Amino acid sequence: MLIRRPPDIPTREITEESAYFGRREFLRAMGYGAGVVAASAAVPGALMACAPGQADPDDKLTPWEAVTGYNNYYEFGTAKDDPAKNAHTLKPRPWKVKVEGEVARAADYDLDDLLKPFTMQERVYRHRCVEAWSMVVPWFGFPLKDLIARLEPTSKTKFVEFTTLADTGQMPLIRRPILDWPYVEALRMDEAMHPLTLMVTGVYGKTLPNQNGAPLRLIIPWKYGFKGGKSIVRIRFLERQPRNTWNIAAPNEYGFYANVNPAVDHPRWSQKRERRIGELFRRETLPFNGYADQVASLYSGMDLRANF
């Protein structure tokens, strides 16, 4: 069966959002379960329902307009609608990703060459931001562990670091001293290798919009959204834990791990409840964003209040 990546799909073949929502309702009505895989008009071979560990299939998807119009991407502005207004200056092709550090296949890769071995699949994940709002998003991508296996890190590797683009020509707003650019995030190796951790190239079956982190971003669904670096240009394999951007900027507010933990309040607001975009009322925040059964064992024996 021919599997095509989102960038390969002509606009005329993209499923409209109304049809996308409708197909899920149809599948539920027909009684299909979480393991169903079916053909898609938008992305042939994509997962049509949630696989184990993904968001509850009864969660209503956040509409395209909110997913692409209500974002945190400070390189394009600090207001939630700034990225959608300003990110048109980003040029997602051609794109290079530098791989370096404790890894056998260190090199400067053209992104399209880097992605060739991987089949894109749909993952419906809850996406939780530290400001106590959340979305349910149908991301398209592939497990980060597959990329790591291809790059062959050495036995010394304990952490994987991701650096995002910082180009004043494409991102004029980074001239403002909001953060220490470029934006840097990192994961412990076992977090990076977890099957829920996703390298993302699309959303709703379409190429990832600039404001959502085109052409390549990271999603770790049990962590707060700031852990997911956007527009990634460098991946480093490290023996020692690196500093991450928000931990440098405000170490009393943002830790290295950033696991969703309703028992640990942000110094300026509570994390116990969240507002799903498009809903009027707040809901209880779930430990690890609802993925505790899949990921809590990664932190066995750790004090999650101290290691926030």
- Give the model's pLDDT for residue 71: 97
CA distance 227 to 23: 31
- For residue 242, whether the previous peptide bond is cis, meaning omega lies within 30 degrees of 0, is no
pLDDT for the residue 17: 52
Q: What is the 3-state secondary structure (H, E, C) of the chain?
A: CCCCCHHHCCHHHCCCHHHHHHHHHHHHHCCCCCCCECCCCCCCCCECCCCCCCCCCCCCCCCHHHHHHCCCCHHHCCCCCHHHHHHHHCCCCCCEEEEEECECCCEEEEHHHHHCCCCCEEEEEEEEECCCEEEEEEEEEEEHHHHHHHHCECCCCCEEEEEECCCCCCCHHHHCCCCCCCCEEEEEHHHHCCCCCEEEEEECCEECCHHHCCCCEEECCCEEHHHCCCCEEEEEEECCCCCCHHHHHCCCCCCCCCECCCCCCECCECCCEEEECCCCCCEECCHHHHCHHHHHHHHCCCCCCCCC
Share of the chain above pLDDT 90, in %: 78
Residue 59: what pLDDT?
A: 87
The pLDDT value recorded for residue 294 is: 97
Cβ 111 vs Cβ 97: under 8 Å: yes
The answer, yes or no, to whether residue 193 has pLDDT greater than 60, is yes
Q: Give the gyration radius of the chain's Cα atoms.
A: 19
Paired with 129 in beta bridges are 133
The pLDDT value recorded for residue 53 is 63
Considering the entire predicted model, what is its pTM? 0.85
- Please say if the pLDDT value at position 1 is more than 70: no
Tokens for 79, please give them: 């207001």
Q: How confident is the model at residue 161 (pLDDT cuts 50, 70, 90)?
A: very high
Q: Average pLDDT for residues 235-249, to the nearest whole number? A: 97
Residue 38 has pLDDT above 80, yes or no: no
Q: What is the pLDDT of residue 3?
A: 36
Q: What is the band of 207 on the pLDDT scale with cuts at 50, 70, 90?
A: very high
Do 162 and 176 meet the contact criterion of CB atoms below 8 Å apart?
no
Contact between 122 and 139 under an 8 Å Cβ cutoff? The reply is: yes
Are 256 and 160 in contact by the 8 Å Cβ rule? The answer is: no
Domain extents in the chain: 65-299
CATH class as words, domain 65-299: alpha beta
Question: What confidence category does residue 54 fall into, taking pLDDT thresholds of 50, 70 and 90?
Answer: confident
Q: What is the pLDDT of residue 163?
A: 98
> Tokens 């299909």 — which residue?
32
Looking at per-residue pLDDT, the higher value among 265 and 234 belongs to 234
pLDDT over 70 at 210, yes or no: yes
% of the chain with per-residue pLDDT over 70? 83
**Bigger pLDDT: 115 or 41?**
115
Looking at residue 52, its pLDDT comes to 53
Both tokens of residue 136? 């349910």
Mean pLDDT along residues 121-148: 96
Residue 235's Cβ-side half-sphere holds a number of Cα atoms within 13 Å equal to: 31
Dihedrals phi, psi of 242, to nearest 5 degrees: -85, 165
| Whether the predicted pLDDT of 28 surpasses 50 | no
pLDDT at residue 9 is higher than 60 = no
Angle at the Cα of 86 from the Cα atoms of 80 and 89, rounded to 5 degrees = 145
Q: Do residues 173 and 179 lie in contact, with contact meaning Cβ atoms separated by under 8 Å?
A: no
Decide the pairing of beta strands 107-110 and 96-101.
antiparallel
